[in-house]
Structure 1
Amino acid sequence: MPPHTDPSSADHGIRLESVVLERGAQRVFDGLSLELRDARIGVIGDNGAGKSSLFRLISGLEQPGEGRVRVHGCDTVADRRQLSQHVGLMFQNPDDQIIFPTVAEELAFSLTARGESRGEARRQARDFLARRGLAAWAERAIGELSQGQRQQVCLLALLISRPATLLLDEPFASLDLLSQARLSAQLAASDQQVLVSTHVLDHVHDFERVLWLAQGRVQADGPGREVCEAYAQDVRRRAEMDLPHA
């Protein structure tokens, strides 16, 4: 399936140019090139396919050995200090991301990192929560929150800082159905570009674009419905091959 194209300017969206990424003796990506401009993009594939590595490259947590990555006009190596203005990454485990003891402090940190004073950041954080009907969360201790609620705090911390692109790495993996539905609704309401890596295909099935990664390569790239169904069929085929024969 051919990748989507967009006539927008070169500074809009994310561009990977012949990227090589090596981790020890393993070559994760070998000349990967992508243009990611669609508003909603899913990334699917088996464990070890390169989904998290792709997000780490885009967010600047890893650097390409060859090639380059540009995010809304910023080179992830040369312009690394500016990247947080353009892209935010939500990790698989919220405990790897949350730093502060209360919800308001965690959200305020996203704003102080962008130059707001501590007092103004806390005021904006409380207002932000109140507008979402979560005013009572402001002084709640992070340790008292459920896994789904901590995941929601991580997303709120990204939303309040307003990066152009949100990267969500397996955000549904440890959530119950109600928490998954709430997270999906939040994503649907956002006007930011959203990239979601997931094994829960239902959540990206209706996305305008889905990438299927396999061993660091793009196996398929196209409308969510088509790519998710192709991947699901491939998984079923491989599972049947593993069954013992009578």
Structure 2
Amino acid sequence: MATISFRGTSVAVVVDSHPEPKTLLQDVSLELTEQRIGVIGANGSGKSTLLRMINGLVQPTSGTVLVDGADTVGAVRAVRRQVGFVFTDPLSQLVMPTGREDVELSLRRTVRNGQERRRLAEASLDRFGLLPLADQSIYELSGGERQLMALAAVLAVNPSVLVLDEPSTLLDLRNRELLRRTLSGLDQQVIMSTHDLDLALDMDRVLVIEAGRVMFDGGPAAAVDAYRAVATQGLATP
């Protein structure tokens, strides 16, 4: 497993309507080494910011983020070869007309031979049962099929770390279960934010993010209990 290190990491952004920068994450220090790591918390808590820092999509305002010692700012290309990222909405990630073309595009930088790219793309699609859909328009696919296409494109280049930002948000029950089983069978280290607490319970370690800080870090059942307590605090009994 990779070692992902957050060392005194903070992120602040300037918002037009506010005179002072808005803090999205504050003083996060973590060493992430487990194979399955979940991140839960309310909307706007900082989950996506935390995940996007792992492959340099967001840069820290202060502190550092390292992936096996490689800095996500100074060595971002090396980091992105190791870390694959899957967005919440696969349509923001699938840029080609068909899944086959998208997977081949992801391989273009590392595989120069066109026939070999086609072979590897088909192998990646077949792994997820997507080969019969390879040449369909991505707009004809279901939400679950699109999400799996995006996953196939990311995994085709064989990253050692897979980061997923709320991957089950747009899925129905069947496709959510398909995604769950797919993730459980991967060799990659998986770091995933989710509102689905059943998915969180599948993890080895779960972080609870609240107002830009890690307010709990531990086993999945205890983390879910901690999050429920925070989320329901102050709610009136009906």
- TM-score of the superposed pair, with normalisation by structure 1: 0.89
Distance of 1:141 and 1:110 partners within structure 2: 17
Identity score, percent: 39
SS of the residue corresponding to residue 132 of structure 2 reads helix
How far apart in 1 are the matches of 2:80 and 2:112? 14
Amino acid at match of 2:132: A
- Checking the alignment, whether the CA contact within 8 Å between 2:125 and 2:149 is kept in structure 1 is no
Structure 1's 73 and 187: CA in aligned 2 closer, same or farther, altered over 3 A?
Answer: same
Letter in 2 for 1:219: M
Deviations 1:75-111 (A, max 9, x none): 1111111122110111111111111111111111121
5 Å-filtered alignment, 1:1-150, equals: 12-24=2-14, 25-150=21-146
Structure 2: gaps spanning 5 or more residues: 15-20
Unaligned runs of 5+ in 1: 1-7
Q: Distance in 1 between matches of 2:129 and 2:170?
A: 24
Amino acid paired to 1:113: R
Q: CA shift at 1:115, angstroms?
A: 4.0
Instruction: Give per-residue Cα distances to partners, 1:194-222, cap 9 Å, x unaligned.
Output: 01101110111131100000011111000
Spell out, residue by residue over 1:9-62, the C-alpha distance to the aligned partner (whole angstroms, 9 max, x if none): xxx320011112111110112221111110000000011110000111111011
Counterpart amino acid of residue 84 in structure 1: R
The answer to whether residue 200 in structure 2 is matched with residue 204 in structure 1 is yes
Name the counterpart of 2:169: 173
- Mapped to 1, the partners of 2:210 and 2:62 lie a distance apart of 20
Deviation at 1:233, TM superposition (A): 2.9
- Aligned CA distance change for structure 1 residues 132 and 89 (closer, same or farther; 3 Å): closer
1:229 corresponds in structure 2 to 225
Matched residue type, 2:190: V
Structure 2 distance, partners of 1:238, 1:193, is 37
The equivalent of 2:18 in structure 1 is: none
Sort the Cα spacing of 1:202 and 1:186 in 2 relative to 1 into closer, same or farther, 3 A.
same
Structure 2: distance between partners of 1:138 and 1:168: 22
Aligned residues: 232
Q: Give the residue type in structure 1 aligned to 2:7.
A: E
Determine the C-alpha separation between the residues in 2 that align with 1:88 and 1:128. Answer: 14
The verdict on how the C-alpha distance between 1:131 and 1:222 changes in structure 2, with shifts beyond 3 A counting, is closer
Between 1:230-239 and 1:46-55, the stretch displaced more is 230-239
Q: For 1:161, which of 157, 160, 170 is the aligned residue?
A: 157
- Which residue identity lines up with residue 16 of structure 1 in the other structure? F
